[in-house]
Amino acid sequence: MRPRVFRATNIVLGLLCLMYLLTYLDRVNISTAIASNEFIKEIPLSKVQMGLVFSAFAYPYLLFQVFGGWIADKVGPRKSLLLCGLIWSGATFATGLVHGMVSLFVVRLILGFGEGATFPTATRAMSYWTPMGKRGFAQGITHAFSRLGNSLAPWLVALLIVTISWRASFLIIGVVGIVWALVWGFYYRDDPSSHRAITPEEIASLPSYGTRRSAGVKVPWSSLIPRMAPVTVVYFCYGWMLWLFLSWIPSFFKGQFHLDLKTSALFASGVFISGVVGDILGGYVSDKLFQKTHDVKLARCTMIAVMMTLCGVSLVPIMLTRNINIVALSLSTGFFFAEMTIGPMWAIPMDIAPKFSGTASALMNIGSASAAIVSPVIGGYLIQETGNWRLPFIVSVGMILVGAALTFTMHPERPLKDEGEAAS
pLDDT single digits (tens) 137-151: 787 788 788 878 877
DSSP class of residue 192? G
pLDDT tens string 69-83: 677 777 888 899 999
pLDDT tens string 94-122: 998 888 888 888 899 899 888 888 877 88
pLDDT > 70: percent of the chain? 92
> Residue 422's pLDDT is what?
37
**Burial class of residue 203, CB neighbours in 10 A (0-12, 13-18, 19+):** middle
What CATH number did the domain enclosing 400 receive? 1.20.1250.20
Contact between residue 209 and residue 192 where contact means Cβ atoms under 8 Å apart = yes
> Residue 304's pLDDT is what?
95
- pLDDT band for 210, please (50, 70, 90 cuts): low
Does the residue 191 lie in any domain?
A: yes
Does the residue 419 lie in any domain?
A: no
- pLDDT band for 47, please (50, 70, 90 cuts): confident
> Residue 336's pLDDT is what?
94
In the predicted model, is pLDDT for residue 419 greater than 50? no
- pTM (whole model) above 0.85: no
Q: How far apart, in whole angstroms, are the C-alpha atoms of residue 149 and residue 66? A: 24
pLDDT averaged over every residue in the chain: 83
Does the residue 77 lie in any domain?
A: yes
Q: Compute the average pLDDT of residues 214-231.
A: 81
Does the residue 418 lie in any domain?
A: no
In the predicted model, is pLDDT for residue 306 greater than 80? yes
Cα-Cα-Cα-Cα dihedral sign, residues 386, 258, 40, 62: negative
Structural domain span for residue 105: 4-207+226-409
Q: Compute the average pLDDT of residues 12-22.
A: 92
Does the residue 220 lie in any domain?
A: no
Least confident of 211-225, 261-275, 366-380: 211-225
> Residue 181's pLDDT is what?
95
Q: Which residues, at least 6 apart from 192, have a Cβ–Cβ distance to it below 8 Å?
A: 8, 9, 128, 129, 198, 202, 203, 206, 209
Q: How far apart, in whole angstroms, are the C-alpha atoms of residue 395 and residue 149? A: 25
> Residue 312's pLDDT is what?
93
- pLDDT band for 421, please (50, 70, 90 cuts): very low
Cα distances from 245 to residues 187, 252, 376, in angstroms, run: 34, 9, 9
Contact between residue 82 and residue 73 where contact means Cβ atoms under 8 Å apart = no
Q: Which residues, in sequence order, are bridge partners of residue 91?
A: none
Contact between residue 338 and residue 238 where contact means Cβ atoms under 8 Å apart = yes
Domain count of the chain?
1
Least confident of 64-73, 109-118, 394-403: 64-73
Does the residue 417 lie in any domain?
A: no
In the predicted model, is pLDDT for residue 20 greater than 80? yes
Does the residue 404 lie in any domain?
A: yes
Does the residue 253 lie in any domain?
A: yes
> Residue 392's pLDDT is what?
86
- Report the phi/psi class of residue 159: left, alpha or beta, with left for phi > 0 and alpha for psi in -120 to 50: alpha
- pLDDT band for 3, please (50, 70, 90 cuts): low
- pLDDT band for 261, please (50, 70, 90 cuts): low
Q: Which residues, at least 6 apart from 53, have a Cβ–Cβ distance to it below 8 Å?
A: 30, 34, 45, 101, 104, 105, 108
